[in-house]
Amino acid sequence: MASTLPPLSLPFLPLLILSTSFASAAGNFNQDVDITWGDGRGKILNNGELLTLSLDKSSGSGFQSKNEFLFGRIDMQIKLVAGNSAGTVTAYYLSSQGEAHDEIDFEFLGNLSGDPYIVHTNVYTQGKGNREMQFFLWFDPTKDFHNYSILWNPSHIVFYVDGSPIREFKNLAATKGIPYPNNQAMRLYSSLWDAEDWATRGGLVKTDWSQAPFMAAFRNLNADGCVQGPLASSSCGSKAWMNQALDAQSLKRMNWVQKNYMVYNYCTDLKRFPQGLPPECSAN
C-alpha cells in the first residue's frame, strides 16, 4: 500500500551473519493457499512444495491462505526478485476485511542492482496504520530463501527474519487504551506488484520493464494459527506460541538489529507527528 515516507539514502552496511533460525515445517501450497489473481502469473510447482509469483507490465500476481486465523505463528521462506527490482514490492501480510480492518505487514521494497532491499513493516488496528518501521537486511535476499515470520498472540506481535526479532508491537489495550488486533480473524496474503510511484526512494526510481518478468519464490509455509470457522480447533490455547515472549537474549538481538539496520522508525519522526508521537511509542 502507498507510503508517505520520505526518500531514503542508502549507506553502506557491513554484511553480518546471524546464526539463529527457526525450523519451518514444510506445508503444501496446494492444500494451504489459493492463487487469487494474476491470470496465470502465479504458479504452484513441485507437488505443492514451491510457489512462484511473477510481475510484468500488464499485471502482478498474488495468493491467500484458505484459512482465517485469530492469533498465530506464520513462517514462510521467500527468495526475492533478483537483479534490478526497483519499483517492485513483494508483500507478505495478515489482514482482516472491512474499513476498520486489522493488518500486520511485511513488504519488501525492490531496489537498483547492488543496492539493498528495504524491509517495510507496519501494523494496522481498526483501520489505522501509520506505524511504519523499515530495515535493511544483513544478507542478499535474492540469492537464497530466507525465513520471515510473524508471531501474533494476545500479548504482542513480533516480526522475525531468520529467527531474529526485528520489531515488537505490544498489546497495550488494557493499560493504555491503544487498540490491538485481538478480535478480527485475519487471512494470510502475499503478492508481487508494481509500486513504482512510491516503493524505491519515494518513487524517484521507476520500474525498468525491460527486466520483466520479475519473479519471487516461496516455500515451506507453516501457518500455525487459531483457525476460525468450521475447522476451528478448541486446543489452540495450548500452543506454545500463544504465550511466547521475548527473553533477554531475544531482546538483545532485536535491539542490535534496530541499532544497526533500522532506517526508519515512525516513533522518532517528529516532523511527521508535530502534535506528538503516537501513544504506543513511549511503551513499545
Could you tell me the CATH number of the domain that includes residue 152?
2.60.120.200
Q: Is residue 62 part of a domain?
A: yes
Query: pTM of the prediction?
Result: 0.90
Whether 196 is catalytic is: no
Per-residue pLDDT at 121: 98
How far does CA 123 lie from the centroid of its chain?
10
Per-residue pLDDT at 162: 97
Count CA within 13 A, CB hemisphere, residue 237: 1
The helix or strand, by DSSP H or E, that contains position 176, with its residue range, turns out to be: helix 173-176
What cell was used for 136? 535493511
Q: Which of 49, 99, 107, 132 is catalytic?
A: 107
Per-residue pLDDT at 26: 66
Per-residue pLDDT at 265: 98
Angle at 164 between CA 68 and CA 61, to 5 degrees: 45
Q: Is residue 5 part of a domain?
A: no
The burial of 207, by beta-carbon neighbours within 10 Å (0-12 exposed, 13-18 middle, 19 or more buried), is given as: buried
Q: Is residue 122 part of a domain?
A: yes
Per-residue pLDDT at 283: 78
Q: Is residue 16 part of a domain?
A: no
Per-residue pLDDT at 233: 60
Q: Is residue 94 part of a domain?
A: yes
Give me the tens of pLDDT residue by residue for the chain, a chain 284 residues long.
Answer: 444 444 444 443 443 434 333 444 568 999 999 999 999 999 999 999 999 999 999 999 999 999 999 999 999 999 999 999 999 999 999 999 999 999 999 999 999 888 899 999 999 999 999 999 999 999 999 999 999 999 999 999 999 999 999 999 999 999 999 999 999 999 999 999 998 887 787 878 899 999 999 999 999 999 999 998 776 665 687 899 999 999 999 999 999 999 999 999 999 999 999 999 999 998 76
Q: Is residue 21 part of a domain?
A: no
Domain count, the chain: 1
Q: Is residue 6 part of a domain?
A: no
Buried b (16+ CB within 10 A) or exposed e, 143-174: eebbbbbbbbbebbbbbbbbbbbbbbbbbbee
Q: Which of 49, 68, 99, 103 is catalytic?
A: 103
Enclosing domain of residue 187: 29-282
Q: Is residue 60 part of a domain?
A: yes
Per-residue pLDDT at 2: 43
Per-residue pLDDT at 25: 54
Grid coordinates 516532523 are at which residue?
A: 271
Whether 107 is catalytic is: yes
Compute the distance between CA of residue 261 and CA of residue 184 in angstroms, rounded to an integer.
32
Expressed in angstroms, the distance from the first to the final Cα of the chain is 24
